[in-house]
Amino acid sequence: MSAPVPTPTASQETRRRRIELLPAGGGGRFAVARAPYLRDGVGVRGYLGAFALALVPAVLGAVALFGLHVLAVIALSYAVGLLMHYGFSRLQRRPRPDEGILLTAMLFALVLPPNPPWALVVLGSVFAFLAREIFGGLGRYPFQPALVGKALLVILFPAAMARFWEPLAGGAGFAQWAPAEPATQTPLTAVLQGQEVPLGTLLGAQPGLLGGAFAGLLLLGGVWLLFTRAVDWRIPLGMVLTAWLGGGLLTMLYPEVLGPSGLVHLLSGGFLLAAFWLAADPVTSPMTPRGKWLFAIAVTLLIVILRGLIPWPEEAIVFAVLMMNALVPWLDRVAAPRPFGSSAGGQGQGGKKG
């Protein structure tokens, strides 16, 4: 019962011509080539850009408090950053521009004192971008570059870096926002010297770092970051809770060195800037969940303790974060997650084809 072997019919041939299937990777550079074929739409730009965007309220607050020159400081920081990045990426043949600059330049400007000398802004930016670019730029730097720049400035020019300004220093109308005189004290130094500072002051304007002066606005940006899940919640939340509870405990034990309460530590000295941005920078913080918790707790306790010990309490966040950055690879190793199914020794045959 054998039938002749039919040849493809005409309709099948036309069909074959009408439907065009793209080969894997058909779209070339713009399309994924292999499964998974869907990719999340959030890229590095969206990710790190969100961090920079969340700083906008704090920048506006700083402009209102200290004057328009704040914008010039930020612009200068971006200009130096872009130039340095351009040079280095040419040397190292890396793609340009890299989105991380959005964040690094902004953070560097915000950890400066409110009215820094121009020369120091440039010098610090150069330091910061050196710390970023010699390691290979985006994703490769082990230490938060903005903080490296700041740390070098503090060590080289401690006096210039300690000139904080008193916001809201009298006057009427718009003039009341202009800085009047350098403040000798920030709430943090005052508290550490045993003076009372009402908590209300801490949430509003206070003398301090350029970006850390308005804790309420930082909190606003931070909550937006948490809400949009651009920042991993473990580090900011871990730091806030540790400052409140752990800081509270430490200050109870050593009130004369560490000040009266954990809440003051939480709301002053740019702590929120550290919690949501500087320490939480994805590049220089651990990747594993447990590592993030350990990192957050250690950074916070270091900040609280350093504030009592070093001559520049306002800069405690800088040194604490940098110190913990050095431990990140180790933290990731000891806190690596335990894969499910590894108890059996992981000596599987792997896949159905063995």
Partner 1 sequence: MAIVGTLKTFKGGRYFPRLQGLPRGPLREGPVPPRVHLPLRQGFGEEPDPLVEVGQRVRTGEVLARSDEKISTPVLASLTGTVVRVEEGVHPLDGEPTTVITLEADPEPYRDDWAPLDVPRGNFERWGPEELGRILYEAGVTALGKWGFPTPFRTAPAEPSAIRALLVNAVEAEPYLRGDRALLFEEFEKFVTGLKILKSALGNIEVHVGLGYDLPHVLEELEARMEYHDWLYLHPLLPKYPQGEDEVLIKTILNEEVPAGRPPTDLGVVVCDVQLVVAAYEAVVEARPMVDRVVSIGGSAMAQPVNARVRLGTPVGDLLEQFGNQGPSRVIVGGPLRGSSVTDVDAPITREARALVALEEPRSPSVTTRWGFLPGADSHVRLLPPFGREKRATTALVGGTKPCIRCGDCVDICPQNLFPIELAEAGERGDLERAEELTIFACIECGLCSYICPSKIDLLEGIRKAKRWIREERLED
List the interface residues with partner 1, window 16-35 (CB under 8 A).
Answer: 16, 18-24, 26-27, 29-32, 34-35
**Nearest of 231, 228, 235 to residue 286 by alpha carbon:** 235
How far is residue 284 from each of residues 42, 85, 277, 347, measured CA to CA in Å?
A: 20, 19, 11, 34
- How far, CA to CA in Å, does 328 sit from each of 239, 253, 273? 16, 29, 20
Q: What are all long-range contacts of 86-94, with beta carbons under 8 Å and residues at least 24 apart?
A: 88/129, 88/133, 88/134, 88/137, 89/133, 89/137, 92/133, 92/136, 92/137, 94/136, 94/137
From 75, 118, 193, 229, residue interacting with partner 1 (rule: CB under 8 A): 229
- Residue position matching structure tokens 């926002």: 177
Q: Is 104 helix (H, G, I), strand (E, B) or coil?
A: helix
Output DSSP code: residue 164.
E
Restricted to residues 164-223, the positions that interact with partner 1 (CB under 8 A) are none
Tokens of 12: 């099948």
- Cα–Cα nearest to 188, from 62, 311, 324: 311
For partner 1, the closer CB: 49 or 204: 49
Helix pair angle (316-334, 289-309), 10° resolution: 150
Of 7-15, 83-91, 262-270, 309-317, the window that binds partner 1 (rule: CB under 8 A) is 7-15
| Region 235-294 residues binding partner 1, contact defined as CB under 8 A | 282-289, 292
Query: Is residue 36 a contact residue for partner 1 (CB under 8 A)?
Result: yes
Q: Least Å distance between CB 24 and partner 1? A: 5
Binding region for partner 1 (CB under 8 A) out of 78-86, 120-128, 151-159, 335-343:
335-343
Q: How far is the CB of 132 from partner 1 (least distance, A)?
A: 12
Q: Compute how many residues bind partner 1; rule: CB under 8 A.
A: 78
C-beta of 12 vs 172, nearer to partner 1: 12
Report the residue number, 66 or 141, with the smaller CB distance to partner 1. Answer: 141
Binds partner 1 (CB under 8 A): choice among 62, 99, 264, 293: 99
Among 176, 184, 195, 342, binds partner 1 (CB under 8 A): 342
Binding part of the chain for partner 1, among 41-49, 74-82, 177-185, 311-319 by CB under 8 A, reads 41-49
Ranges within 118-147 binding partner 1 (CB under 8 A): 136-140
The residue within the footprint of partner 1, chosen from 84, 112, 197, 230 (CB under 8 A), is 230
CB of 160 to partner 1, least distance (A): 33
Distance CA 319, CA 106 (A): 19
Quick check: bond before 36 cis, omega within 30?
yes
Backbone angles phi, psi at 322, to 5 degrees: -60, -40
Rule CB under 8 A: choose which of 173, 198, 311, 351 binds partner 1: 351
44 versus 60: smaller Cβ distance to partner 1: 44
Residues 93, 159, 173, 338: which binds partner 1 (CB under 8 A)?
A: 338
Minimum distance of partner 1 from residue 17's CB (angstroms) = 10
Binding span for partner 1 by CB under 8 A among 5-13, 62-70, 241-249, 319-327: 5-13
Q: State which of positions 45-84 bind partner 1 (CB under 8 A).
A: 45-50
Beta bridge partner(s), residue 182: 165
What is the nearest approach in angstroms of partner 1 to the Cβ of residue 290? 10
DSSP string, 116-150: --HHHHHHHHHHHHHHHHTTTSTTT-SS-HHHHHH
Which of 26/170 has CB closer to partner 1?
Answer: 26
Pair 210, 70: CB distance under 8 Å = yes
Instruction: Say whether the peptide bond before residue 114 is cis (omega within 30 degrees of 0).
Output: no
Distance in Å, CB of 326 to partner 1, minimum: 15
